[in-house]
């Protein structure tokens, strides 16, 4: 690991820097990724044309606009990425900023599938690079500069043409997507005349947090309020979690839907939980969820999706350095 | 404006590039800023120590994590920024990623106030740069590299120490803050037992969109549903806007509060509106809002805040290139 370049520092400063640099060798990369993940980002698909003339592209969130005059932008690509060399040598590239309707496209281009461009709608841009249909904005760029930066390269592009729409942009923070449309659906659900259930999918040390369901013998349920009696609210959910010894920061919505069996409007947040007291909490491995003890098919279906996305999110699609810049660069 | 560097292109490609580069001279900077603004970002305060030993800092959203080994990050600073030279020469800098509770701190450090650091809570980091208390994450960095990039410089830092919390991060898109806490408050308000009013503060060509209030002679109101009869919802609001010939993309919440007079839970979105048909719509200049024709003090109070933030947002704090990278760099 290279020494930090400390210029103009006094001897004492240099000693301090040396100490800190040594300390740095002990950095935990997972911790650094998590810290990087605190910065909210949009999601882009970066594309170019390979030497064979075929389209190439990957999902990335390491985009930054740089300059207006001249019009410049940049993205980071991991040196270990299969397509890095293609992008480094290409005469240009396009950056497609995804809208909240394009979550699936984001997942597609973060995958290793070879038929990405067959599965997506796209067309060549004015400067020749592939533009993904339905994006919130796109920039078709000529290569301007390539900068070596540790385990990544910075690819700076000179914008040759661009366009944008008023679609709500897709967001990403702490390893999860953010869609304002889902937030609005939650307001809608909560303001409907039907009863509202507000719940949480919480993880503690990679296990799912469940609570006993008093209405069914040996039944289990997600932490949730409003299933019996009047509608639940997020503040009631907070109170419940506190009573059960669970310390959780909620903020990211996972699902908003109407339970077809009960006609309840269901709003589920997700998050990590600390256990202050074990209390009545049951922790279940995701590979061994007690499906038959859960209240209904709607809950099972949502948890199956959560478990699947979680697996993809942590072990496949974002197995790279998703919190660190490039979500994943593949060919 | 420099020619785009097109390497390895054929003559025809070069001609095309030349054509596009000329076309580029016609780029509208406001349009380019708006396109850049489609990319959601977090918000950071970047700090350093001046030659006089005093703390310096500004609000920026042009942050990108770059590399894990070595641990690198970067920010962009406009060359016209008063503090650019200070940062360019400093031996290091810190990046503070703001939490959603720090919107005021973001506004403070985007201002030209000289007492920013007196008004904020901060302490020196392990590497000596000022750390803002309550941030979602911070990185204390040594200067690693300075890269010239059009009208900005890219300041790359080598991370000497860092930390992060589980606070929800503050977001920014299309010139507005995004706070997940406000979204949750809206779900809370909508799921409460009280009646819910859902409305919108919409602008058309820099004017406020109002509608006649049928319950009061010559009364005006924001487009809103739920004030009379059963609770309103976002989908009912959409229907109302459509009926009134207004085409608006809602997605950003502006306010969630309980109207003290009526005990209604009020949820207001904001956005831009296109007018398909003038219909009954009344467009009011923000300098000349018909305050006495509005329904109540709660509406007036919210609109006063909107008008004030709008003025700051458009003409003062973010008068720079807020959609372009650096929100504003001041000394």
| Cα B262 to the center of its chain, rounded Å | 31
CA distances for A42 relative to A60, A136, A280, B50, angstroms: 9, 10, 39, 33
Q: Which residue of A has its CA nearest to B62?
A: A64
Higher pLDDT, B146 or A37: B146
**B11, part of any domain:** no
Residues A70 and A94 in one domain: yes
Q: With CB atoms and an 8 Å threshold, state whether A41 touches B42.
A: yes
β-bridge mates for residue A255, sequence order = A268
pLDDT of residue B312: 55
Residues A220 and A282 in one domain: yes
User: pLDDT, tens digit, for every residue of B181-210?
Assistant: 777 788 778 777 778 899 999 999 889 999
Q: What is d(CA B134, CA B128) in angstroms, rounded to the nearest whole number?
A: 18
Q: Which residues contact A328 (CB under 8 A, 6 or more apart)?
A: A58, A59, A81, A110, A317, A318, A319, A320, A321, A322
Q: What is d(CA A49, CA A47) in angstroms, rounded to the nearest whole number?
A: 7
Q: With CB atoms and an 8 Å threshold, state whether A42 touches B173.
A: yes
User: What is the phi/psi pair of residue B215, to 5°?
Assistant: -85, -10
Instruction: Give the number of C-alpha atoms closer than 13 A to the C-alpha of residue A78, restricted to the C-beta side.
Output: 22
Q: What is d(CA B213, CA B235) in angstroms, rounded to the nearest whole number?
A: 20
Residue recorded with tokens 């997972």:
A30
Task: Tell me the three-class secondary structure of B90-113, residue by residue.
Answer: CCEEEEEECEHHHHHHHHHHHCCC
Q: How confident is the model at residue B113 (pLDDT cuts 50, 70, 90)?
A: confident
Q: Using CB atoms within 10 A of its CB, is residue B134 exposed (0-12), middle (13-18) or buried (19+)?
A: middle
Residues A141 and A201 in one domain: no
Beta-carbon count within 10 A of A298 CB: 19
Residues B63 and B144 in one domain: yes
Q: What is d(CA A46, CA A97) in angstroms, rounded to the nearest whole number?
A: 9
B173, B204, B238 — which closes off a domain?
Answer: B173
Average pLDDT over residues B31-52: 93
DSSP state of B169: B
Q: What's the first-to-final CA gap in chain A, in angstroms?
A: 28
CA distances for B156 relative to A154, A288, B8, angstroms: 11, 45, 29
DSSP state of A170: P
Beta-carbon count within 10 A of A79 CB: 15
**Is B283's pLDDT higher than 50?**
yes
Q: What is d(CA A194, CA A190) in angstroms, rounded to the nearest whole number?
A: 8
Q: What is d(CA B158, CA B140) in angstroms, rounded to the nearest whole number?
A: 8
Q: What is d(CA B79, CA A68) in angstroms, rounded to the nearest whole number?
A: 12
Answer left, alpha or beta for residue B165, where phi above 0 means left and psi between -120 and 50 means alpha: beta
User: pLDDT, tens digit, for every residue of B205-242?
Assistant: 889 999 999 889 999 999 999 887 777 888 889 899 99
**Is B93's pLDDT higher than 60?**
yes
Residues A123 and A210 in one domain: no
Q: Is the peptide bond before B86 cis (omega within 30 degrees of 0)?
A: no
Residues 274-313 of B with CB under 8 A from A: none
pLDDT of residue B15: 44
From the list A160, A171, A231, the residue facing B4 with the nearest CB is A160
Helices (H), chain A: 11-25, 29-36, 84-89, 103-109, 116-119, 180-190, 234-243, 297-311
**A21, part of any domain:** no
* Tens digit of pLDDT at every position of chain A (331 positions): 333 333 333 344 444 444 444 344 556 788 898 899 899 999 999 999 999 999 999 999 999 999 999 999 999 999 988 889 999 999 999 999 999 899 889 989 988 888 999 999 999 999 999 999 999 999 999 999 999 999 999 999 999 999 998 888 999 988 778 887 777 788 778 777 778 899 999 999 889 999 999 889 999 999 999 887 777 888 889 899 999 999 887 767 888 888 888 888 889 988 888 888 778 999 999 999 999 999 999 999 999 988 877 765 543 223 233 333 333 322 2
A151, A173, A195 — which closes off a domain?
Answer: A173
**B5-14, B150-159, B262-271: range with lowest mean pLDDT:** B5-14
Q: What is d(CA B181, CA B167) in angstroms, rounded to the nearest whole number?
A: 10
Residues 12-71 of B with CB under 8 A from A: 13, 16-17, 20-21, 23-24, 27, 29, 31-36, 38-42, 44, 62-71
pLDDT of residue B145: 97
Contact status of B82 with chain A (Cβ, < 8 Å): no
Q: What is d(CA A249, CA A211) in angstroms, rounded to the nearest whole number?
A: 18
Q: With CB atoms and an 8 Å threshold, state whether B70 touches A150.
A: yes
**B301, part of any domain:** no
Strand A252-258, strand B252-258: pairing: unpaired
Q: How confident is the model at residue B26 (pLDDT cuts 50, 70, 90)?
A: low
Residue A96's domain is classified under what CATH number? 2.30.110.10
pLDDT of residue A312: 55
User: Average pLDDT of chain B?
Assistant: 83
**Is B265's pLDDT higher than 90?**
no
**Is B92's pLDDT higher than 90?**
yes
Q: Which residues contact B100 (CB under 8 A, 6 or more apart)?
A: A251, B167, B168, B169, B170, B171, B179, B180, B181, B182
**B223, part of any domain:** yes
The secondary structure of B112-138 as a DSSP string is --TTHHHHS-EEE-TTS-EEETT-SEE
Contact status of A319 with chain B (Cβ, < 8 Å): no
Residues A130 and A204 in one domain: no
Q: What is d(CA A260, CA A267) in angstroms, rounded to the nearest whole number?
A: 14
The secondary structure of A70-104 as a DSSP string is TTEEEEEEETT-TTHHHHHHSSEEEEEEPBGGGHH
A320: its two tokens: 């790279």
**A129-133, A324-328, B163-167, B243-247: range with lowest mean pLDDT:** A324-328
pLDDT of residue B6: 31
Q: Is the CB of residue A143 less than 8 Å from the CB of residue B7?
A: yes
Residues A138 and A188 in one domain: no
Residue recorded with tokens 């077809």:
A260
Residue recorded with tokens 């400067």:
A127
Which contiguous run of DSSP H or E holds residue B60? strand B55-60
A155–chain B nearest CA distance, Å:
11
**Is B281's pLDDT higher than 90?**
yes
Chain B residues whose CB is inside 8 A of the A42 CB are: 38-41, 173
Q: What is d(CA B324, CA B263) in angstroms, rounded to the nearest whole number?
A: 41
Chain B residues whose CB is inside 8 A of the A137 CB are: 35-36, 38-39
Average pLDDT over residues B248-259: 82
A199: its two tokens: 């719940």
**Is B327's pLDDT higher than 70?**
no
pLDDT of residue A141: 97
A105–chain B nearest CA distance, Å:
16
ipTM: 0.76
Residues B148 and B45 in one domain: yes
**A61-65, B300-304, B314-318: range with lowest mean pLDDT:** B314-318
In residues, how long is chain A?
Answer: 331
Q: Using CB atoms within 10 A of its CB, is residue B243 exposed (0-12), middle (13-18) or buried (19+)?
A: exposed
A137–chain B nearest CA distance, Å:
6
User: What is the phi/psi pair of residue A143, to 5°?
Assistant: -65, 135
Residue A191's domain is classified under what CATH number? 3.90.79.10
A99–chain B nearest CA distance, Å:
9
User: What is the phi/psi pair of residue A102, to 5°?
Assistant: -110, 25
**B17, part of any domain:** no
**A12, part of any domain:** no
Q: Which residues contact B103 (CB under 8 A, 6 or more apart)?
A: B170, B177, B179
Which residue range is the domain that position A112 belongs to? 29-173
Q: How confident is the model at residue B318 (pLDDT cuts 50, 70, 90)?
A: very low
Residues B55 and B169 in one domain: yes
Q: With CB atoms and an 8 Å threshold, state whether B97 touches A39.
A: yes
Q: Which residues contact A21 (CB under 8 A, 6 or more apart)?
A: A3, A4, B160
pLDDT of residue A319: 27
Residues B114 and B218 in one domain: no
**B316, part of any domain:** no
> Structural domain tally of chain B?
2
**B36, part of any domain:** yes
From the list B91, B100, B145, the residue facing A9 with the nearest CB is B91
Residues A140 and A35 in one domain: yes
Q: What is d(CA B147, CA B156) in angstroms, rounded to the nearest whole number?
A: 8
Q: Is the CB of residue B43 less than 8 Å from the CB of residue B327?
A: yes
A173, A205, A240 — which closes off a domain?
Answer: A173
Q: What is d(CA A129, CA A122) in angstroms, rounded to the nearest whole number?
A: 10
Residues A150 and A113 in one domain: yes
Nearest C-alpha neighbor of A130 from the set A85, A180, A95: A95
Q: With CB atoms and an 8 Å threshold, state whether B168 touches A70.
A: no
């Amino acid at each position: 690991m290279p020494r930090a370049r400390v210029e103009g520092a006094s001897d004492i400063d240099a000693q301090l820097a040396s100490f800190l640099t040594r300390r740095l060798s002990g950095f935990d990369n997972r911790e650094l990724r998590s810290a990087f993940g605190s910065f909210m980002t949009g999601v882009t698909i970066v594309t170019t044309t390979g030497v064979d003339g075929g389209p190439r592209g990957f999902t990335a969130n390491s985009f930054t606009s740089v300059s207006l005059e001249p019009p410049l932008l940049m993205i980071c690509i991991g040196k270990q990425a299969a397509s890095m060399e293609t992008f480094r040598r290409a005469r240009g590239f396009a950056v497609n900023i995804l809208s909240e309707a394009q979550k699936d496209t984001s997942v597609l281009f973060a995958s290793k599938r070879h038929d990405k461009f067959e599965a997506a709608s796209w067309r060549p841009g004015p400067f020749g690079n592939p533009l993904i249909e339905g994006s919130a904005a796109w920039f078709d760029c000529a290569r301007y500069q390539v900068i070596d930066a540790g385990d990544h390269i910075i690819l700076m592009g000179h914008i040759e043409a661009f366009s944008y729409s008023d679609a709500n942009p897709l967001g990403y923070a702490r390893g999860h997507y953010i869609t304002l449309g889902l937030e609005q659906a939650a307001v809608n659900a909560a303001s409907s005349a039907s009863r509202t259930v507000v719940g949480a999918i919480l993880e503690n040390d990679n296990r799912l947090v469940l609570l006993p369901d008093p209405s069914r013998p040996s039944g289990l349920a997600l932490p949730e309020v409003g299933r019996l009696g009047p509608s639940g609210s997020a503040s009631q959910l907070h109170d419940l979690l506190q009573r059960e010894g669970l310390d959780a920061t909620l903020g990211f919505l996972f699902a908003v839907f109407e339970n077809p069996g009960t006609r309840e409007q269901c709003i589920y947040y997700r998050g990590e939980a600390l256990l202050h007291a074990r209390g009545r909490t049951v922790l279940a491995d995701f590979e061994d969820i007690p499906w038959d003890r859960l209240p209904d098919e709607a809950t099972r279906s949502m948890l199956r999706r959560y478990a699947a996305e979680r697996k993809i999110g942590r072990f496949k699609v974002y197995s790279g350095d998703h919190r660190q810049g490039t979500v994943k660069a593949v060919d």
